[in-house]
A and B are shown apart, each in its own frame.
Chain A
Amino acid sequence: MTQTQTSEAATTASGAETPPRRTRERRRFPVQLLVFLGPAVVVYTVFMIYPLVDSMRLSLYDDAGAFVGLGNFVHLLTDDLLSARFWNAVWNNLVFFAVHLLVQNPIGLLLAALLTSSRLPGRATYRALVFVPTTLSVVIVGFVWQLILNPVWGFVETPLLGQSSTALITLALMSVWQYVGIPMILFYAVLVSIPEDFLEAARIDGANAWQTFWRVKFPLVLPTVGIVSVITYVANMNAFDLIYAVKGALAGPNFASDIMGTLFFRTFFGFQLERGSSTMGATVATLMFLLILAGVLLYFFGYQRRVKSYEF
């Protein structure tokens, strides 16, 4: 195992390949760049960057169009009703994420470990079966689980989705069920790429399967755990579809399953007799963006920079 030395390799490669004649030609603007990159840059700017920046700009105005600076943020975070809803949504989002982190990753890893075991027949079938739900629409997943958990004609008599104590956790577990295939596949990819030499060396050293897993395989999987966690974080903090499909925009009972996505939906588009406010909606969206950004930055600076990558 050696740490990669990409920069050195790159220098050698480019140094060796630059004949003197091409330096003059290089100064000319590469027109084809425009053709190849142009559309992507234009589309990305118009449909991603501009709306993002514009919604941040929008959060600084009131509904009548007057500039209010950070007024909307102050209102959202200090008004007792609004701030209670907002922090409730943030908290629920974190719970939603915690369930994914603590349930989805270990199960994903377990499944991946089982699938790489040479003693399991029909591995490819299991792999496909576990992965299939991720390809389904959330609306279908929500619908199917609602039927299963339906106290009138389902298999569970307790109204798991109807009690404020269980609704959010149940929804999070539904989502785990759907998406567990993704960490599984990522972990699986790492596990199958571990060279046989390592495992053989471990065996020769007298390690049993349990020791081999924790001492050899697990450290190699760890960087992927980080990536999976950050992907899950972004997806969970942005979550909306499953909750909206199952519980509607009011995310009941009594806002027990209200997350930032549903709060944003209600604020921006309004609900029933409530008219939406695009500026307040933009404020909620901006805070969502900042929270996600904070989480991702924390990951990049606090975790990923310390993670070593290995070359087999």
Chain B
Amino acid sequence: MNRLRWGACAVGAALLLSACGEGTDPREDSGADGDQTGLVIESWRNDDLAIWEDVILPAFHEEHPDIQVSFEPSAPDDYNAALEARLEGGTAGDIITCRPFDVSLGLYDDGHLTDVTDLEGIDAFDEVAMSAWATDEGDEFFCVPTASVIHGFLYNAEIFDELDLDEPTTEEEFHDVLGAVADDGEYTPLVMGTADQWEAATMGLQNIGPNYWEGEEGRNRLVEGEESFDDSQYVEAFEELQSWSEYMPQGYESVQYPDAQNVFTLGDGAVFPTGSWEIALFNEQADFEMGAFGPPLPEGRDTCYISDHTDIGMGINAATDAPEEARIFLEWTATEEFADLYANALPGFYPLTEHEIEVEDPLAQEFLSLRDECESTIRNSYQFLSRGDPNLENQLWDLSAQLLNGEVEPQEAAEQAQEGLERWYEPQQ
């Protein structure tokens, strides 16, 4: 009896001890062989894993054989929360892929990111590119800009040929094109749904909006509080967006983003409002020829604006064991060589450096050429204006989707956005 009891205790103790045993961190292996230092990149771009491993990192390793870099992405939706938890817990990677604006600024303010203001090569980026990863005063930078995405429209060139349509440049022509496809009746004129809400705002409003609020200038006026969201240009942008609903697929209120992608790549739709991030996937999936055009000009305007949105940057984890090596890597990402590799490995993600880059993919080049024809700007809800509650970005998702669903009118949508801003944003009060 007694022996049994002690035996049980011993087993219990052994179990407890084994549970306390030291786990090994797989991360340590990468730095184990010889004099090599291992660096780990945190990212939400899990789609890009193969490209980093096969194209980009081998090029870096060739130049810097003593630094071994590995790309370890997590799921996009979980990235912010997971990264923050890992940074707090001290288990995050050495290089942090930065979301633009406040999310990364927050990490910098909390001391998780290193100042990269004096990094070699950082002067290859212009002010707009840097603004996504600068402090509010704009004198300290914490991430190196990696890539932007350009908004526009993709179209099915075969349907355009069949119906004898041309790329529209003005909104009138745009509506004529959509009308012609609708009259023909065989294809969906404009492929988009509102179920996920973000498409309506990101691919809709932020795509055509800059033409109305005059790009960066308008964006800055909104930030400074010189203009308000219920001014006529915003109402007009909402009105134009609202007019899309009659060209969208049947039951678009519950059509999700992947559904819309499928409708277009299966050849059932004529025009797909989108951004350049779609190019790589669509090249793979669509077996028809595609073309691209920028946001059509509203009546009476002659300068076009495109949303050339700063989307990806890279910074250094302040708690890294290899700050020198991490710096070397980031300096490399600021070079022309990296820009060239990146732009061609991931068509549709454009480097933000001022180096002249040739993109081989014709569709990606078409989007890129919009940079020469039009003025670039970024999404207006990203800098400063999504800091409070309600957060302008989330509100625009909601309002744009409701607008297309017919649950709110343009004027109301603009007023609600303005009310939201006035609640917490001082320059607008």
B286 adjacent to chain A (CB < 8 Å): no
B310 adjacent to chain A (CB < 8 Å): no
A161 near B254: Cβ-Cβ < 8 Å = yes
A162 adjacent to chain B (CB < 8 Å): yes
> A274 — which chain B residues lie within 8 A by C-beta?
386, 389, 391, 393-394
B206 adjacent to chain A (CB < 8 Å): no
A159 near B254: Cβ-Cβ < 8 Å = yes
B9 near A253: Cβ-Cβ < 8 Å = no
> B34 — which chain A residues lie within 8 A by C-beta?
none
A273 near B386: Cβ-Cβ < 8 Å = yes
Known: A273-B393, A275-B103. A253 touches B255 (CB 8 A): no
B423 adjacent to chain A (CB < 8 Å): yes
B394 near A273: Cβ-Cβ < 8 Å = yes
Interface size of A in residues (CB-CB distance below 8 Å): 38
B195 near A35: Cβ-Cβ < 8 Å = no
- B256-305: which have CB < 8 Å to A? 256, 259, 263
How far is B250's CA from A38's CA once the two chains are assembled, in angstroms? 60
A275 near B252: Cβ-Cβ < 8 Å = no
> B216 — which chain A residues lie within 8 A by C-beta?
none
Among A47-55, A148-156, A213-221, the one that faces the other chain is A148-156
Q: Which of B15, B382, B394 contacts A250 (CB 8 A)?
A: B394
Contact digits for B406-429, partner A, Cβ 8 Å, 1 yes 0 no: 010000000000000001000000
The DSSP consensus for interface residues of chain A is loop
Among A107-115, A117-125, A234-242, A264-272, the one that faces the other chain is A264-272
Q: Which of B12, B15, B263 contacts A152 (CB 8 A)?
A: B263
A309 adjacent to chain B (CB < 8 Å): no
Q: Which of A146, A158, A254, A270 contacts B81 (CB 8 A)?
A: A270
> A253 — which chain B residues lie within 8 A by C-beta?
194, 197, 253, 398, 401-402, 405, 407
- Of the four ranges (under 10, 10 to 19, 20 to 34, 35 or more), the interface on chain B belongs to 35 or more
A120 to chain B, nearest CB (A): 37
How far is B381's CA from A273's CA once the two chains are assembled, in angstroms? 9
B9 near A275: Cβ-Cβ < 8 Å = no
A254 near B407: Cβ-Cβ < 8 Å = yes
A254 near B398: Cβ-Cβ < 8 Å = yes
Contact digits for B221-251, partner A, Cβ 8 Å, 1 yes 0 no: 0000000000000000000000000000111
A82 adjacent to chain B (CB < 8 Å): yes
B397 adjacent to chain A (CB < 8 Å): yes
B9 near A31: Cβ-Cβ < 8 Å = yes
- B177-216: which have CB < 8 Å to A? 193-198
A39 adjacent to chain B (CB < 8 Å): yes
B254 near A150: Cβ-Cβ < 8 Å = yes
Contact digits for A12-30, partner B, Cβ 8 Å, 1 yes 0 no: 0000000000000000000
How far is B106's CA from A272's CA once the two chains are assembled, in angstroms? 13
A269 near B106: Cβ-Cβ < 8 Å = no
> A32 — which chain B residues lie within 8 A by C-beta?
5, 8-9
B394 near A151: Cβ-Cβ < 8 Å = no
B266 to chain A, nearest CB (A): 10
B102 adjacent to chain A (CB < 8 Å): yes
A9 adjacent to chain B (CB < 8 Å): no
9 closest Cβ pairs, A-B complex: A151-B251, A162-B253, A162-B254, A159-B254, A159-B253, A159-B251, A273-B386, A161-B254, A269-B81
What are 8 residue pairs bridging A and B, where the CB atoms are less than 8 Å apart in the complex? A151-B249, A151-B250, A160-B254, A248-B196, A250-B397, A253-B253, A272-B393, A275-B80
Chain A contacts to B: CB under 8 angstroms:
31-32, 34-36, 38-39, 81-82, 146, 149-153, 157-164, 247-248, 250, 252-255, 269-276
Chain B contacts to A: CB under 8 angstroms:
5, 8-9, 11-12, 15, 80-81, 84, 101-103, 106, 193-198, 249-256, 259, 263, 381-382, 386, 389-391, 393-394, 397-398, 401-402, 405, 407, 423
Given contacts A160-B254, A162-B194, A273-B102, 19 further A-B contacts (CB under 8 A): A31-B5, A34-B12, A35-B8, A36-B8, A81-B390, A82-B389, A150-B254, A150-B259, A151-B250, A157-B250, A162-B195, A162-B253, A252-B195, A252-B401, A272-B198, A272-B386, A274-B389, A275-B102, A276-B80
